[in-house]
Structure 1
Amino acid sequence: MSFFATLAHVKCCCSVTRISRLYSTAKIFGNAGSAEFVAAAGSITSIPKLRGLPEVIVTGRANSGKSTLFNAVLGRRDLLHTSKKAGRTRELNFFRVGAEPGKLILVDAPGYGSRGRPQWGQMFDKYLETRKELRRVYILFNAKHSLNESDTQMLAHISQMLISTRGTQPFTLQSVITKADCIPADKVSEVITRMRKDIWGAAPLCLPPVVTSATMSPPFGIEELRENIADACGLLAGKRAH
């Protein structure tokens, strides 16, 4: 089976069911110039109050490919800063998606793990605990590496925050597997299956992973992830924001 065919098979097995929609994701993500940086927060007290648009936040271990992937999702090469040096994102960065006044806000969070900082974790937790506009947390895993202790701890930590004290679920959690093209074609199914098992072992409420590669030509999984984000924010036909 070819690399593309193998990835397509895994994608079919792992991803959420695609639904018909009235809002085309092209209207949200299609105009690269419509996405723009709007604010940054370097501390809990500086987390901005925006316009009430639905928000998704993206986190992952340092060097998970977060910036490269979401530049592709937003149709830009340099909106989110990319670097070969891990741990470059040190603030919560807020990006408006969609032409003014916008459709949603994407929040880029600092990476966790050995290069993370305690204050980053405190700010991330405060955002999750208090942000009424938050619809989904995306946690990224590099396909080249197995989940490590910091990954499973983060999954378990976010899972504990999913259910509020009122017994409601304020947001959802979903994993994204990046750099899938770095796996040998004959190992793709095995690797993705193992990662999915590890993810659900740590976070049973985590939604099925979206498998991606932002550096392939054409990129793989980007359209699915765009649709997934729009769905989470209640922008698809028959769906309302959570």
Structure 2
Amino acid sequence: MDQGNVSRIINDSEIRLDWSIYDLNKLPGEDRRAAAEAGPDQPGIVHENKGELLPEVILLGRCNVGKSSLVNALMSNNRQSATPYAKVKQSAGYTPCLNFYNVGGLFRLVDSPGYGVKGKPWQGELTMQYLAERRELRNCFLILNGDIGLNKYDELILEALVEMGVQFDIIFNKIDKIKNNSRIQHYEELISTSILNDLKIKPRIYFANSIESDLKQRTGINEIRYGILQSCGYSDLQTLKPRRRRKTINDTIEKIKEKNARKSLKGRVKINLQRDIH
């Protein structure tokens, strides 16, 4: 994995929320398709959503699995604390619709409503319609609770993805809830005893922890970013140039901190060398 360029691309990318969608026919691309299917005599759909079509990936997960926190980590600058693009709340069900985040003009990351006990039927219908009909969709990342494993709602979603023929990968989140010395055994047993073991086409599996306070301690983020870029058809990362984010006061502060840290490190090395010489 080209970790350096993966970090550069996301760190440099301008991030913006393009659309919050409650009706798939109000999504750019779908409006024209709906009008074409309706025929020339039917009035076209007029709405305020505009923008170029880009490759899209969607994150799915049951309520309170840490999906929005993961969305924030994936789009944030590695050198700073996570930026709250997606709203996070301790109680479940805080993402009400499909939110489309434009990442550097390269792709859109779609945050979906959580499914399960707290999910609403219309939210599930909207998400399923998107998965079945959206032509810009390149991959689906299904987030599973790495601590307690799959439940019946996760299994239903997996079965639906297979039946619809939607490409998907798996992210086990919250792996820090499992002790380091038992993680391998835990996930081997979890996968071998679940519906994942019965899949004919095996998805890629990623592992991420749930540390939110410091991105430098968050594991698995660059691997997932790399998977997203690959899914969207970007292979030559070295020459890939996103639409750059505007510099903020936080960027300036972080650069000053990094510069001072390097100076301090050089000073300590110089002092240690002088001590060794004498």
TM range (shorter): 0.7 to 0.9
Do the aligned partners of 1:136 and 1:172 also contact (CA within 8 Å) in 2? yes
The answer (yes or no) to whether the contact 2:161–2:167 under 8 Å persists in 1 is: no
Unaligned ranges ≥5, structure 1? 1-17, 163-170
Match of 1:129 in 2: 132
Tell me how far 1:187 sits from its aligned partner. Answer: 2.1
Q: Per-residue displacement from partner, 1:15-67 (whole Å, max 9, x unpaired)?
A: xxx4x69x9323431126x1111101113333344422100000101111111
SS of structure 1 residue aligned to 2:218 = coil
- What's the TM-score, normalizing by structure 2? 0.69
Note if contact 2:61-2:67 (Cα within 8 Å) is conserved in structure 1. yes
- In 1, distance between residues paired with 2:27 and 2:145? 28
Residue 12 of structure 2 aligns with an amino acid whose one-letter code is: N
Q: Does 1:52 align with 2:39?
A: no
Shift of 1:82: 0.7
SS class of match (2:185): helix
State the identity as a percent.
28
Displacement, 1:142? 1.3
Is 1:156 matched with 2:159?
yes
Gaps of 5+ in 2: 30-50, 77-81, 238-278
* Conservation of the 8 A alpha-carbon contact between 1:214 and 1:222: no
The amino acid across from 1:41 in the alignment is I
- Asked if residue 142 in structure 1 is aligned to residue 123 in structure 2, the reply is no
| CA spacing shift, 1:92–1:38, aligned 2, 3 Å | same
What do residues 190-228 of structure 1 show as CA deviations (whole Å, max 9, x unaligned)? 222133332523644351210011417521011111111
- 184 and 138 in structure 1: CA distance in 2 versus 1, 3 angstrom threshold: same
Q: CA deviation at 1:92?
A: 0.3
Query: 8 Å contact 1:139–1:175 — kept in the other structure?
Result: yes
Residues in 2 aligned to 1:214 and 1:230: alpha-carbon distance in whole angstroms: 22
- Residues 1:235 and 2:234 aligned together: yes
User: 1:115 and 1:157, CA in 2 relative to 1: closer, same or farther beyond 3 A?
Assistant: same
Structure 2 equivalent of residue 8 of structure 1: none
| Aligned residues of 1:210 and 1:225 also touching (Cα < 8 A) | yes
Aligned length: 207
Query: TM-score scaled by structure 1?
Result: 0.79
Residue aligning to 2:46: none
The residue that corresponds to 1:205 in the other structure is 201
The structure 1 residue matched to 2:6, chosen from 21, 25, 44, is 25
Counterparts of 1:154 and 1:146 in 2: how far apart (Å)?
14
RMSD: 2.1
Which stretches of structure 1, 4 residues or more, deviate above 6 A after TM superposition? none
CA distance in structure 1 between the aligned counterparts of 2:96 and 2:59, rounded to whole angstroms: 13
User: How many Å apart are 1:172 and its aligned residue?
Assistant: 1.5
SS, match of residue 30 in structure 1: helix
* SS of structure 1 residue aligned to 2:142: strand
Distance 1:44-1:91 versus aligned 2 partners, 3 A rule: same
Specify the alignment match of 2:185 in structure 1: 190
Matching residue of 1:90: 96
Residue equivalent to 2:16: 36
Q: Which deviates further from its counterpart, 153-162 or 48-57?
A: 48-57
Amino acid at match of 2:107: L
For residues 199 and 226 of structure 1, do their structure 2 counterparts lie closer, same or farther at Cα, with a shift above 3 Å needed? farther
> Aligned in 2, Cα 1:29/1:118: closer, same or farther, shift over 3 Å?
same
Task: Return the letter of the residue paired with 1:207.
Answer: P
2:68 is matched with 67
Q: Which has the higher Rg, Structure 1 or Structure 2? A: 2
Contact 2:176–2:210 under 8 Å retained in 1: no
Equivalent position SS for 1:201: helix
Kindly indicate whether the alpha-carbon contact (under 8 Å) linking 1:181 and 1:213 is maintained by their aligned counterparts in 2.
yes
Moved more, 48-57 or 195-204: 195-204
CA contact (8 A) 1:196 1:208 kept: no
Task: Letter of the 1:57 partner, please give it.
Answer: I
SS of 1:24 mapped into structure 2: helix
How far apart in 2 are the matches of 1:122 and 1:113?
13
Alpha-carbon distance in 1 for matches of 2:66, 2:233: 26
Q: Equivalents in 1 of 2:123, 2:195: separation in Å?
A: 23
SS of equivalent residue, structure 1 residue 79: coil
Distance 1:150 1:77 in 2: 29
